[in-house]
Structure formats: structure tokens, C-alpha cells
Structure 1
């Protein structure tokens, strides 16, 4: 499993989207200045909200396999609908259930960059890797 804890309070510097290869590349810089590249492959859904000049990461979460919970289901709703969920929204729709089932089977993973400030990123992908920049 990837150790994503080093990205707490790191900066999201840029996002590159390759529609043909279905790949999203996130450029991240640690507070000390070390650069990293996160590459999500097999991306089928992507949502980026509030990208700013300065984007500080609170945490990066990945849901896959048995890690699926109510928070995951809520994020899937947001990703597929393009808006945050409310108490009145149906979290059991067939599309959400199919997506959550794919995450539980390990066919997909839900990746979230939760911000302290700036960009919030949600994506559904089949793989995630990290490399030094």
C-alpha cells in the first residue's frame, strides 16, 4: 500500500489530464520542497473543485476493497453527480451501487485529495503510483 501520509500539508502544484491514455498526473511539493508525481491510471471519472494559485492538501484518501464505507459512498455520489450530497439524496441508486461494487471488488479505486485550502480532487481510477519528481 502507498504511504500517502507524507503529503499532509503538501502543495498541489498542477494537474495534467491525458484523455487518450485515461491518466491524471498530479504534481505535488512537500513543505520542505521535495517534489512528487502521483499518477492515476485507468481514470473514468474526475472532479476538481476550487483550484487556486495555492492548494494545500489536508490528506489523500484511497478507498478500495473492504475499505468502502458511508464516506466512500458519499464521495461516489459527489463524483458522479458533480455536487456534494445532502440528506435527501439517494445513496443507493443503481449507478452508485455498481460503482461501489467495482471498488469493493478491487476493479476501481476512489481517490480523494481533501484540501486545507484550494483544490478538492475526486477521481475513480484503476491504479495509483507515486514517484519522485
Structure 2
């Protein structure tokens, strides 16, 4: 979630490989454009790459047009980088809105939430 990150993503990839696990990586466009090599490596190792917006905003406060910009821009980058369009989308912070659900569906992505918060954001 929130990557790719040049410090943490390689460690996570190595751990997943060690245990033979495939995972879904929800990537932020701003990070993906800066670390396209890591995006390609995630895909090359057989992991699923999903959309987590361009800037990680609270989508509840954005217009439908702004939500579309966040999602389209990220999906286009991930598609160009990996050759595959993302099919899953996760709202930053789990903060869904009617606009984010509508736009993600129109862009061919299904929403994914979570059932456990590991509080990784709370250092």
C-alpha cells in the first residue's frame, strides 16, 4: 500500500519471494512515476498492481472530475509501465465516496477494502 517505496518495496518483494507468496500492491501514481523500475519489478515477479490514486487524497472531498483525474492518471501510468491496466482500486484511508465508486467502475476497476487495520501508519 502507498508504494512503491525504494526502501521498503524491495524488502517486501524479497520476503514474499522467500515464502512463495503473490500479493496485490496498491500504488500511488506520484510514487510510481518516480520509481517506475520498482513498478516493473513488482509486475515481473507476478504480483498484482492496483490503483491507489495519484496523490492519495481524501476522495470524499473531491468532485467527480477530480476523482476521475486521480484514477485515470494513475491507471494510464500503470498501464504504460506494466502493459496491464489495473482492475482493482482502493480509496486512500478507506474513504469511499459515491463519485469514487462510480468513476472506478466506469474505468473498469473494482473497489477493494480491508477488514484489519494494521495501523502501519501509526509509527
In the superposition, the TM-score normalised over structure 2's length comes to: 0.29
Q: Which has the higher strand share?
A: 1
Higher relative contact order (CA 8 A, sep 6+): 1
In the superposition, the TM-score normalised over structure 1's length comes to: 0.28
